Structure 1
Amino acid sequence: MSSLVKNVGTIGGLTLVSRIFGFVRDMLLARVLGAGLAADAFQLAFILPNTFRRLFAEGAFSVAFVPMYSRALHGEGGEGAADRFANDVLSVFLWALLVFSGVMMAAMPGVVWVLARDYQDVPGKFELAVFLSRVTFPYLALISLVAMLSGLLNARSRFAPGAFAPVLLNIVLIGGILTGAWLRGDSHDDRIVALALAISVSLAGVAQLAYLWWAVRRAGLKLHIRVPKLTPEVRRLGMLILPATFGAGIYQVSQFVDTFFATSLPQGSLTLLKLADRLNQMPLGIVGIALGTAILPMLSRHIHSGDAAEAQRLQSNAFEMATLLTLPAAAALAICAPAFTAAFFVGGKFTAADGAIMANIVVALVAGLPAYVIVKILNPGFFAREDTRTPVWTALAALIVNIAINLYVVRRFGIVGLAGATAASATINCLLLYAILHRRGWFRFTAKLGLRILRQLVAVAAMSALLWWLMPLLAAHYSGGAFERAWSLSALVAAGGTSFFAAAWVVGALDKDLLAMLTRRRARPAPAQE
C-alpha cells in the first residue's frame, strides 16, 4: 500500500498542477474565443492529434511496451537487455510516427469532412478546421515519443517527469492564447487567436520532448536512433500492440463518434462539450491516470512473481482509493455545476446562456465519472498479464451501446444527451471488465471492499444534502466580482470536503491505515523523484 500511495501521490500531485493550468487555459479560451466558429475549428484541430496520441502512445503502445520493458529490466539480461529493447523500439517507432503523420496531414481535408462535414454549411469554418488541424498534427509524433520516454521512467518507478510533461503543454497554450489575443487587438478576428493556439500545440510538443529526453538522460539511460530493425522482441511488441490498438481504437472511435454528433449540432456545441469535460477531467486525471499509471508496473511484478494474493490486494486498494475520491467528486460536481460554470467560464465572449448549457453537460458527464476511473484500474489486470485482447471486446460492446444511445438521444436532448450516452457506455464497459476479471479469478470484489464503499455512499449522501441546501443561498454571488466568485466557490468546496470526510470518519468509510500512511508521508516527505 505504501508504494501505491507514494506513486499515486507523485503522479496525482503533478497531474493536479497540470489540471489547474489546463483549467486556467480553458477559462481564458472561453473568454477570448467564446463558443463560436473559430473555437469549434480549434477544438476539432486539437482533438485529432490528442485522440491519436491516446490511441498510439498512451493506449496500445504503453500498455504493451511497459510490461515488456519492465520484464527485460528485471530479467537476466538486466540493464543491457532493457537498453537494447528500448533502442530497437525507438528506431522503429520514430519512423512509423513520421510516415503516419505525413499521410494524415496530406489527407486532412478528407479526415475533417468525415468528422465534421456539417462545418461546410458555415462559410470558412471547414477550411479553417483543415488548416488548423495540419498545424497541430505534428504534435502527435512529438507527444508519442514523450509517452515512450515516460514509459521507460515509469518502469523504473520514476513517475514525476511523465506526470509533469502536461504542465508544459498547458503553460505553452496559455501563452498562445494571450499572444493571439494581443495580436488580434481590436480586429475581432478570432481566427488569429485560433492560429496562435494551433502553433502553440506543436511548440508544446517540442518542449515536452526536450524535457523528457533530458529526464531520461539524467536517469542514466542512453538512447540511440538506429536503422529500423524488426528484432524478435520488436515483432512480439507489435503482435501485442495490434489487438491493443484495436481495443484502444474502439474507444477512440467512440470519441470520434461523439465528435461527429457534436459537430452536427448547433455551432458551439463541440466547444461546450470540451469545456465541460475539463471539469470532469479534474478528478479523472488526478485519480484515474495516477492510479492506472502507478498500478501497471507494480501489478506486472506481482503477477510475474506468481503472487496472486498481493495482486488482489493491490487492485482492491486502488479500487477503494478510486471510489473514495470519485464518488464525492461526481456528486459535488453534479450539484454545483451551475456555480462552477458561472464562476469560472462566463464572461467575455462566453455568455450566461452558454454557461447554463455547459452546466447540464457537466451533470451528464460526471454520472460516469466513477466508471471512467475504475476502468483505468481494471484494465491493468489484463495488460499486466499481456492480455490486450479481452478489453477489445468490452470496448466494442461499449461502442455499440454508445452509438445506439446517441442515435436515440442526440435529436431529442442535443449535446446533453450525447454526454449522457458517453457516461452510460463507460459504465457498461466497467461492468463487463469486472465481470471477466471475476470469472477468471484475477480480481474479486470482496465483502470488506463492498462495505467500505457502502459507507462511502453514506458520507456522499450527507455531503450532497448540505450542498443542495447551500447552493441556492449563494446563487447571487457566482456571477459577481472576482472576490465574490472566489469566496462563494471556496465556501462550497470547504463545506463539501469537510462534510464528506467528517461523515466518512464517523461511519468508518476511511481506511485508518491509509490515513496513517498519508500522515507519515506528510511528516517525512520522500525525496522527490526526477
Structure 2
Amino acid sequence: MSRAEPRHIPPSSTPAAGGKDSGGTASLLRSTGSVAVATLTSRVTGFLRTVLLAAILGPAIASAFSIANQMPQQVSELVLGQVLTALVIPVLVRAEMEDKDRGQAFFERLFTLSLTILGVALVVSLALSPVLVGLLVGGSKVDEGLTQALVIMFLPQLMFYGLSALFTAMLNTRDEFKPGAWAPVACNTVQIATLVTFYLMPGELTLNPTAMGQPKLLVLGIGSTLGVVLQALIQIPAMRRSGIKLRLRWGVDDRLKHFGSMGIAIVTYVFISQAGWYAVTPILSHASDGGPAIHQYAWMVLQLPYGVIGVALLTAVMPRLSRNAAEGNRNAVLDDLSVATRLTMVALVPIVAFMTVFGPSIGRALFNFGQFSQDDANFLGTAISFSAFVLIPYAMVLIHLRVFYAQERAWIPTGIVIAIVAVQIALSYLVPVFVDDDHRIVEFVGTARGLAYTAGAIMGWYLLRRTLGPLHLTNVTGTLIRTTTVSVLVTVTVYLIMQIDGLQRMDKSGSLGALVFLAIAGVLCMTLIYALLALWRVPDVLAILAPLRRIAARFVPALRPSAPSEPAREASRAPDTRELRLDELEAYASLRREEITAQLPRIADDIGLPYAGQSHVPRRPRASAEQPTTGLRYRRRGAFAVTEDDSARMSGHEAPSTGQMRLPSQPPAQAGLPAGSDQGDAAWDDDAPRGPELIPGAVVAGGRYRLIEHYGGIRGLQFWQARDINLDRDVALTFVDSEQTAPVPERGAQISLRGEGPQSILSRTLRLGRVHSNGLARVLDVVRGSSGGIVVAEWIPSSSLADVAGTHPSAIGAAKAVRALASAAEGAHRAGAALSIDHPDRVRISQDGHAFLAFPGTLADASKESDVRGLGAVLYALLLERWPLDDATGRTVTTGTGTVAGIRQADADANGNPVEPRDAKRDIPFEISAVATRTLEGGQGIRTAATVQQLLDQASVVDVKTDLLAVVREEAPREAPRQSPAAAARPAQNPVPLDQQPTPAKRIQSKQTLLQRVSGGKKNVPLLVIAACAVALLVIIGLTLLISSLTGGKDTQSGVGSLYTSSSTADQSAAPAPAPGVGAPVTATDVALVDFASSKDSATNLANVLTGKTPSWKTDTYKAGPAFGNLKKGVGFLVTLEKAVSLTRGTITSPSAGSTVEVRTATKDTVKSLDETSLVWSGSLRQGANDFHVSTVAPRARYVLVWITGLTKQSGNDWYTTINQVSFQGS
C-alpha cells in the first residue's frame, strides 16, 4: 500500500456563533477530568480486588489463581502488547493524520492481523498449557490440578487483553479518552462481584477442584474472564460513534515493514523478561504453597508508590528527555538525566526506607483479612522489607532505557534486560542452596530481583557513558547522600519511638489497628524527612515545597522568604546588561513537528518497557495546498527555565562559566529528508505562515498545554488560561509574538536584554522567576519558538480587574489589594527586572483580595517608573472604575470616553488631567487618593514601588478593626457610615456597609455558589486538605469493616475494642480460675521437638518460640480436620528452664484461634510418652497472648511440655497451628 498524501481533515464540529465552540471544547475538558477520575477509580477498585482475592482465597489458592491469571497477560504482552505500544501505535497515529480515510483502512488491516495473531496464540497456548503448568508448579506445594483448571478458563482472556489495548489506542487518536480509561474499572467491578459471589456460594474452599465443586470453580474462572471480555466490548459503542468500523481486511501496511528490526528487538526483550518469570516461579512454588502469591503481592505493593509518585514526578521530564536523546543533544540529555535522577532519589528513597522498616506493619494493615492470616500478612510484610530497595534501581533502569529507545538503539535495552534476567535467575537459584527456611526463600528471591535491577542500572550507566561520554550530572551525588542519610536516620528513629507498648499492641491488634499504627508512623516519617531536607536546602525538595510554603506563609508569616541583605539588595539594583546568545539546543525550533501522546491500558501487571503504554508520537500537521499548516511549534526550555543563566542550575564551584554559543552553521535536516535537499530548505522560508491558531481546546508546546480561555492581550502578547496536561494543573500562558511574525534570529545572533524582539522579552521575563510575592503569578517556565515563545506562570483563581472595579470596592480594600502588587514590583526592581504593569488585562484580583500580575511578559520599555505609574493606574481603576493610561502602550496618562479592557477611560478635570479620586468620591481617604494621583505624575510624584507600598500600608491601618468583623452577608441591611468607640462596643444592629468591605474580592465571591466559594479560595486549601484526609480515613475504615464483615475469618481482630483491650483477655472457658500464688518469671534455655509418630513434624524456627522472633514455628499442614489427619495424637515441644520450679502461670502467644493445647511438666529432658508428664493446664487458644494459671500446686520440675492436641483450620482444607512465643513463671 502506498503512503497516502497528507490532506486537511476538517474538524468534526464547527464553532458556533460568537466564536463559541459548540461543545467541542467543553467536551474535551470534561473528558480530561473524567480520565483523571477513571484512573483513580481504577487504582482503588484494582487494589480492592486484590485484597478481596487474598482474603477470600487465602495464600495457597491465591497462588494458583495468580499463576493462572498471569499466563494470558504474559502471552498477550508477548505477541501484541509491547509491539503495539512501541511500533504500531505511532504508525496508527500518522495514518489517522495522513490518510484520506483517517486511517480506517490501516486500522482494519491492523485489526485483522491482531485478531489472527491473538487467535493463533490462544490455540497454541491451550495446547501447551499442561506443559507450562507442569513447568511452573509441577511437583511443588502449589496445587497443579487447580492451577491447570484455572488456566484453561483464563487463557481466552489473552484475546480480549490485546483487543482492548487496540481499541483504546484507536479511540485515543480520535480524541475519545473516556471509554479506554473506564474500561479497566468495569473489569475490576465484574471481578469483585465474581469474588463476592464465589464466597457466598455453597461448597468447600479447597485446593481440590473436584471437591470444591464444579459450579463454584466455574464462577471463579468464568467470572474473572468475563471482566476482561467486558473491558474490550465496552469500547465498541464509542468506536461506532467515532465512525470506526470493525471490518476484516487482509494485508500488511507498507509503513509497518520499516520497523521490522526494532520489532524483533522488542519481542526479544519481552520474551527474555517472561523467561525470567517462568524460571523464578518454580522456586517460589516449591518453597511455599503461598510463595507465588506473596511474591506477586509484594511487588504490587511496591509498584503503588512508584506508579503514583515516581511516574507523576518524572512525567514532565521524560518526554523532553526522549526528544533531546533522539536529537543527539548530549548537554540537554545530561541535564534531563540529572533532573530525573534527583527527582527519583527525593521521591523514592524516603519511601524505600519506610517500607523497609515498616514492611510487616504494611502487610498486616493491608492484607490481614479472612483467609489471609496474621502469619501470612507478616510473611508478606517481611517480603516487602526484603525487596523494597528495588524501587531505586528499577526507576533508574527505566530512565536509561528511555534514552536508548529515543536514540533508536533498541538492542541495547534488550541486552540490559538479558543481564537483569540472568542475574535474577542465578541469584534466585542460589537462594535454596544457602537458605533452608521456606519463608526466607521467598523473601530472598525478592531480594534477588532487587540485586538484578541494581546490576541492570550499573550496566545502563556504563553504556550511557560510552554513548554520551562522562556523565557529570549536577548535584546527583549530594542529593543522594543527603536524602539517604536523612531518610535512614528519621525512619529508624520513628521506628524506635513506635515501639511504645501501647502502639505495639495497636499494631498487633488486627488490620484496623495496624492501619492506624502505619498512618501515624508514615506521617511522622515523611513530615520529618522532607522538613529536614528542606532545612538542609536540598534544591529539588525546595522546588517541590515552594507552593506549600506559599500557602503556609499566609498563616505563619515566619515562613515567608526573608528579604535579602542590604549589600545584596544594592548589588541587585543594577540591571544586568550582558549579552546572551540563543542556546544551541533551541535553534530553529520551528522544525519540530507536533507531538501527541497515545496512552494505552497496561496488559500485564509488571512493566516491561520504560513507560510502556505511553507512546510520544511525532506527527505531520493537517495541511493541504489550499490551507497550509499553521501549527504552533514550540519546545520546552528545560526544568530550570526560570533563569536564563545555566549557572543557576548548579551551586557553588560546580557552576561553570557561561560561554557564548553560536547557532548551528546549517539547519538540521527534516525527518525523512536528506540534509541539503530542496524540501528541507523550503522549510526555512520565513515567508511561510507559521502563526498558531489559538482557540479554546487547542494544544500547544508539543502537546504540553491545552488552551481553556482567552483573557485579552497587548502589543503582540496574548493572555490565556491553559491546562498543563502532564502535571494536571491550570497555568497562565503569555504568548509572545503568537503569530510568529518576527523574523527568525540570524545564526550566531545575540540576545540583548535591552532588545525589543520576542527572545529579548522572554529573557527579561525569566528574571521574574526569582521574585516570590502575592502580587506576582510565579513564573514556572519559558517555552521558546523559532521567533516567539510562551511564558508559563502559576494560575491563581481570581477575577478580572474590570469585574472587581465594577463592584465599587472600598478605598481601604483597594489600597490593600494594590499593596501586594507594589510589593511584587519592589521585589522585581531589586532583582534588576520590571513587571510591565501597562494594561488591565495583565492584572487580576485573587480571591484573597490581592492585586497581582497574572500574565508576566516584560516588554522593552518596561522600567521602574512605568511600573510605579501602572500601580497608580490599578489603584485608580479600583477607586473610580476608570483607567488613566493609554490603550496602545500603557505609558501615557490620558483621558477620554473610550474603554480599555472593559474599563472606561479616566474623566478629565479642568486642566485635562485625570480627575483626582477624592474629587470624584468624597469618602475616599486623602492619603489613598494622593497615592493614586502622585504615582501617575511620573518623575514629579512618587518614584519607587517601595514608597507606594509604605504609603498604602499606612493608609490601610485605619481600617485594621474591620479584619475582626464577621463576614458580611449579601442581603444584609446597611449600616451607618461611622460608629463611636462606645457604639462599637455595643452589639451591632446592622452589618458593615458594602462600600466598607476590607477586600474587593468579597463582592465577586458573593456572586458565586457556596461550593465555588469553598473550592475556590486559597485560604480554604488547608481546611479542604484536612477534610479530604478525614473523608479518606473514613472510607478506609469503612472498607476495612466491610471486608471484615464480608470475609469474617478467625484471624481478624479489627474491632475498636481490640485496640485497647489487653491481649491477655482469654476465653473464660479456656482457663481455670487464677491461683492465689504468684511466681517469678523463669528463663528458658532450650527447646526440643516432641513427636511420638514415625513421620515427625518440622522443627524449623522452633527456637523462635523462646524469643518471639519471626518467622514463627508452626506444625506441618494436615488435611481432613483438626486431629492431625488421624495420623497422630498430637505434637509439641519440650522447654528447658534454667532451674526447677513449681509452675504457677505462663503465656502462650499464637494467631491460631481454636487450637487446643495442654501444658505438662516433666522431670527429664527426654519424653517418650505422655505418661512421663504431669498435666497442669489445658484449654483452647485465642488469637494473641493467652495467659494461663495453674490452679493447683504443680510438682517442681525443670522441663515444660507444650502439647498441641487440636489444630486450627487455615486456607482451604489446610489445618495447622502456629506458636509465636511461650513464657513461664514459677516459685
Q: Cα deviation per residue 1:409-446 (whole Å; 9 max; x = unaligned)?
A: 13414111211111111121122223222321299461
Deviations 1:502-522 (A, max 9, x none): 12322233354555589999x
Preserved contact between residue 368 and residue 423 of structure 1 (Cα < 8 Å): yes
Which residue in 2 is equivalent to 1:6? none
Residue 113 of structure 1 is matched in structure 2 by: 134
Q: Deviations over 1:100-134 (max 9, x none)?
A: 11220232111111222125x77xx3222112112
Q: Partners in 2 of 1:423 and 1:20 — Cα distance?
A: 27
Q: In 2, Cα distance between the equivalents of 1:117 and 1:382?
A: 39
Equivalent of 1:202, from 225, 231, 240? 225
Tell whether the 8 Å contact from 1:14 to 1:164 is kept in structure 2 after alignment.
Answer: yes
Partner residue in 1 for 2:347? 325
Which deviates the most, 438-447 or 359-368? 438-447
SS at match of 1:118: coil
Deviations 1:46-91 (A, max 9, x none): 12122234434553432233444556667xx378676654443333
1:280 lines up with 2:307 in the alignment: no
**Which residue is 2:522 aligned to?**
493
How many Å separate the matches in 2 of 1:108 and 1:43? 15
Aligned residue in 1 for 2:123: 102
**In the alignment, does 2:85 pair up with 1:62?**
yes
Structure-2 change in CA distance of 1:290 and 1:94 (3 Å): farther
Alpha-carbon separation, structure 2, partners of 1:79 and 1:317: 42
Counterpart residue number, 1:479: 508
User: 1:273-422, aligned counterparts within 5 Å?
Assistant: 273-287=295-309, 301-302=323-324, 312-411=334-433, 412=435, 413-422=440-449
More displaced 10-residue stretch of structure 1: 391-400 or 205-214: 205-214
- Secondary structure of residue in 2 paired with 1:140: helix
The partner residue of 2:75 within 52, 74, 97 is: 52
More helix by share: 1
Match of 2:535 among 503, 506, 510: 506
Which AA in structure 1 matches 2:348? T
- 5+ residue gaps in structure 1? 1-8
- Opposite residue 445 of structure 2, the aligned amino acid is L
**Distance in 2 separating the partners of 1:443 and 1:198:** 54
Q: TM-score, normalised by structure 1?
A: 0.83
Conserved 8 A contact 1:58-1:147: yes
Q: Distance in 1 between matches of 2:415 and 2:458?
A: 13
Identity of aligned residues (%): 23
- Report the Cα distance in structure 1 between the residues aligned to 2:187 and 2:392, rounded to whole angstroms: 26
C-alpha RMSD over aligned residues: 3.8
> Per the alignment, do residues 424 and 145 of structure 1 end up closer, same or farther by CA in structure 2, a change over 3 Å counting?
same
Aligned amino acid, residue 148 of structure 2:
V
> How many aligned positions are there?
513
Q: Please give the secondary structure, in 2, of the residue aligned with 1:367.
A: helix
Aligned partner of 2:193 in structure 1 is: 175
**1:251 pairs with 2:273:** yes
Query: Which residue of the other structure, out of 132, 135, 142, is the alignment partner of 2:153?
Result: 135
Q: Partner of 2:50 in structure 1?
A: 26
C-alpha offsets along residues 121-158 of structure 1, whole Å, 9 cap, x if unaligned? 77xx3222112112111222212233334455677998
Measured at CA, do residues 490 and 141 of structure 1 come closer, stay the same or move farther in structure 2, by a change above 3 Å? Answer: same
1:441 maps to 468
* Residue 41 (str. 1) matches residue 59 (str. 2): no
Q: Report if aligned partners of 1:296, 1:384 keep a CA contact under 8 Å in 2.
A: no
CA separation of 1:306 and 1:266: change in aligned 2, threshold 3 A: closer
Letter paired with 1:115 = L
CA contact (8 A) 2:75 2:121 kept: no
- Asked if the contact 2:266/2:414 (under 8 Å) is kept, the reply is yes
Per-residue deviation, 1:163: 5.8
Return the alpha-carbon distance in structure 2 between the equivalents of residues 229 and 112 of structure 1: 35
The whole-number CA distance in structure 1 between the counterparts of 2:471 and 2:116 is: 42
Question: Of residues 145, 151, 155 in structure 1, which corresponds to 2:163?
Answer: 145
Residues 15 and 285 of structure 1 are in contact (CA less than 8 Å); yes or no, is this contact kept in structure 2?
no
CA distance in 2, matches of 1:197, 1:525: 47
1:269/1:103 CA distance change after superposition, 3 Å: same
> Aligned partners of 1:68 and 1:517: how far apart in 2?
40
Cα contact 1:288–1:377 (8 A) shared by 2: no
Asked if structure 2 preserves the Cα contact closer than 8 Å seen for 1:57 and 1:144, the reply is yes
Which of 452, 459, 463 in structure 1 is aligned with 2:479?
452
User: Do 1:29 and 1:177's aligned partners in 2 also have CA atoms closer than 8 Å?
Assistant: yes
Aligned to 1:3: none
Unaligned runs of 5+ in 2: 1-32, 552-704, 706-720, 729-1227
Q: What SS does structure 1 have at the residue aligned with 2:59? A: coil
Q: Which amino acid aligns with 2:199?
A: A
Deviation at 1:405, TM superposition (A): 0.8
Check conservation: 2:191, 2:227, Cα contact below 8 A: yes
- CA separation in 2, counterparts of 1:288 and 1:153? 27
1:67, 1:300 within 8 Å by CA — same for their partners in 2? no
Structure 1 match to 2:261 = 239
Match of 2:508, SS state, is coil
Which AA in structure 2 matches 1:346?
Answer: N
For the residue of structure 2 that corresponds to 1:45, the secondary structure is helix
Does 358-367 or 436-445 show the bigger shift? 436-445
Higher strand share goes to which structure?
2
Residues 344, 392 of structure 2: 8 Å contact kept: yes
Q: Which has the higher contact order (CA 8 A, sep 6+)?
A: 1
Q: Equivalents in 2 of 1:128, 1:70: separation in Å?
A: 43
User: Match for 2:296: what amino acid?
Assistant: K
Distance 1:159 1:326 in 2: 30
Q: CA deviation at 1:299?
A: 5.0
**Cα gap change, 1:305 to 1:404, in 2 (>3 Å):** closer
Counterpart residue identity of residue 52, structure 1:
V
What is the CA–CA distance in structure 1 between the aligned matches of 2:56 and 2:93, rounded to whole Å?
Answer: 45
The question of whether the paired residues in 2 share the 8 Å contact of 1:60 and 1:248 is answered with no
Between 225-234 and 311-320, report the one with greater CA deviation.
311-320
Task: Quote the Cα distance in structure 2 between the aligned partners of 1:234 and 1:155.
Answer: 18
Deviation at 1:294, TM superposition (A): 7.6
AA aligned to 1:27 is V
Q: Residue in 1 aligned with 2:492? A: 465
Kept in 2, the 8 Å contact 1:336–1:467? The answer is no
Judged with a 3 Å threshold, the aligned counterparts in structure 2 of structure 1 residues 303 and 90 are, in CA distance, closer, same or farther, namely farther
Paired residues of 1:263 and 1:270 also in contact (CA < 8 A): yes
| Partner SS, residue 287 of structure 2 | coil
Are the equivalent residues in 1 in contact too, given 2:393–2:454 (CA < 8 A)? yes
Q: 1:267 aligns with which of 289, 294, 300?
A: 289
Task: For residue 450 of structure 1, report the CA deviation from its aligned partner.
Answer: 3.5
> In structure 1, the residue corresponding to 2:499 is in which secondary structure?
helix
Distance 1:266 1:58, change over 3 A: same
Give the Cα separation in 2 of the matches to 1:98 and 1:323: 44
Name the amino acid aligned to 1:47.
Q
- Of the structure 1 ranges 305-314 and 90-99, higher mean CA displacement relative to structure 2 is found in 305-314
Shift of the 56–154 alpha-carbon distance from structure 1 to 2, 3 Å rule, reads farther
Judging changes above 3 Å, is the alpha-carbon distance between structure 1 residues 27 and 432 closer, same or farther for their aligned structure 2 residues?
same
Closer/same/farther in 2, CA of residues 211 and 507 from structure 1, 3 Å limit: farther
User: Between Structure 1 and Structure 2, whose CA radius of gyration is higher?
Assistant: 2
